[in-house]
Amino acid sequence: MRAMVWKTLGALAAVAGLSLPGQAAAKDVLGVACKNPPPAHCNGEACQPLLGDLGNATDPKTGRKFWLDYPCDLKPGDKVVFILNIHGAGSIGQWQRHYFPAMDYKDKYKLVVATPTAATSPARVPGQPGVRVWVGDADDVHLQNITNLVFDAFGKQNIKSFWLAGHSQGGGTSHRIVCTDFFKDRVDGLLSLSGGRIGRAEINPRFGPPKADGSPPDPRPAGTGPGGAALGAAPLPACEFSHIFETGEHEVVSFPATSPLADKWGCSARVEEKDVVDTQPGYVWDYARQGYPVWGMKARPGKAHVWVYPKCKGGRVVADVERLDKGHTEGLEPHVTEAIIKMMVAAPGGKAQHVS
C-alpha cells in the first residue's frame, strides 16, 4: 500500500514539475538533467580528454555552451546561491569547473554553478594560435546572458545570493565587471582565486609560467605586475559586495595584515582561524607546465591559512585564504573548497530579488 501511495505521489509531482524528498528534480533546467555525481566529473590525468567539452547548457542568444550544475533535490521556494565560475586566460570552463569544484557541494549547500568558456582572442604573434581570454563586449554579453538565464530559470526571488568566482584573469574580469551597470545591482560577493586582492598582496617577482626549458621566468621590476604593467593602488570598488581572496603561498611575497575593504565596511581587525587541512589533492593542474612551484606543481594534499575580518557592516564577509606550498594552478582541495563555500553561503545577499 505504501509503495502505491509513493508511486501515485511521484506521478503527481512529475506532472506538477515538483520533486519529493530524496528524488531528483523531475523537471530539467535549461535543458539540463540534474545528475549526481555531476556529469563529466573527472580526476587527475583522466580530466585531460574531457577539457574540450564546452558544456551541457546553451546560451540561446549566442549559441555558446556552458556548464550548469544545480541541486537535484530542489523544491519550489528553495533558496539557492548562484556562482558564476570564470576561468583564467588560456584555460577553459571544464578545467575551471574542477579547479574550483563547487559542483561537489551543490546539493549540500544548494548551489547553482554556471561555468562558461571565453572566446578565443586573435593571435598576438603571426602563425601562433590565440588563447581563450575574457576580453571585449561579446564575452561580457555572454556572462550577462548566463546570469539572466539562471535568474529566470530558478526565479530571482529564489537567488539567496550571487557570487562571481574567477581564477587569474577570470578574477581580474570579475573585478572589472562587478560594478558595471548590469552586475552592480545583482552581485553580492566576489571570490578571487589568485585573481586580485582589494588592497594588494605583493606578487612574487618571478610569478608566471616557466620558460620553454622549464626555467623560471625572468624577475619583474619592483612595482610591476604580470606582463610588466605598473602596479598602482587599486581604487576601492564603487559598489557593495563581500570579498574572499585565495592564493597559493608561492604566488605572493606576503599578505597585508589590513584590508582597505574591511576598513570601508567597518570590520574589526583580522582574526586567524584554524588551518584547513586536506588529505586529498585537488582534481586538476597545469598538465603541460607543471614543475615550477610559483606557477604550480601536480595537485596534492595541503594545508591553508584563513584570515577573516569579523563584524563587518551588514554582515559582509572579507577574508583571505593562503594555500601553503601551492602555486597558481593546482586545483583546490576538497576541505578548503568547502571552507570557502561556507563563507560564501553565510554572507548576506538578496540583490537579485530587487532586480526589475
Q: What is the DSSP string of 253-276?
A: EE--S--HHHHHTTPPSPEE-PPE
**Where are the extended beta strands (E) located within the chain?**
57-58, 65-69, 80-86, 111-116, 159-167, 189-193, 202-203, 242-248, 252-254, 271-272, 276-278, 302-308, 318-323
| pLDDT for 25 | 43
pTM of the predicted protein model: 0.91
Calculate the average pLDDT of the chain.
90
Q: Which of 27-41, 215-229, 270-284 has the highest mean pLDDT?
A: 270-284
Fold (topology level) of 38-122+130-354 = Rossmann fold (3.40.50)
DSSP state of 75: -
pLDDT tens-digit map of 182-211: 999 999 999 999 999 999 898 999 999 999
**pLDDT > 70: percent of the chain:** 87
Closest CA to 171 of 150, 198, 146, 144: 198
CA distance 53 to 115: 12
Residue 147 has pLDDT above 90, yes or no: yes
pLDDT tens-digit map of 105-142: 999 999 999 999 999 987 666 666 778 999 989 999 99
Residue 149 has pLDDT above 90, yes or no: yes
User: Residues of 138-149 as b/e, b for ≥16 C-beta within 10 angstroms?
Assistant: ebbebbbbbbbb
Please state which of the ranges 55-69, 214-228, 251-265 shows the lowest mean pLDDT. Answer: 214-228
H runs (alpha helix) in the chain: 2-16, 93-99, 136-154, 169-177, 260-264, 334-346
pLDDT tens-digit map of 304-355: 999 999 999 999 999 999 999 999 999 999 999 999 999 999 999 999 999 9
CA distance 317 to 227: 31
Closest CA to 90 of 16, 12, 168, 15: 168
| pLDDT for 27 | 65
Residue 4 has pLDDT above 60, yes or no: no
| pLDDT for 242 | 98
230 in helix, strand or coil?
strand
Cis amide linkage into residue 37, ω under 30° from 0 = yes
User: Residues of 318-348 as b/e, b for ≥16 C-beta within 10 angstroms?
Assistant: bbbbbbeebbbbbbbbbbbbbbbbebbbebb
CA distance 80 to 74: 9
pLDDT tens-digit map of 206-224: 999 999 998 999 998 876 6
Closest CA to 211 of 329, 328, 295: 295
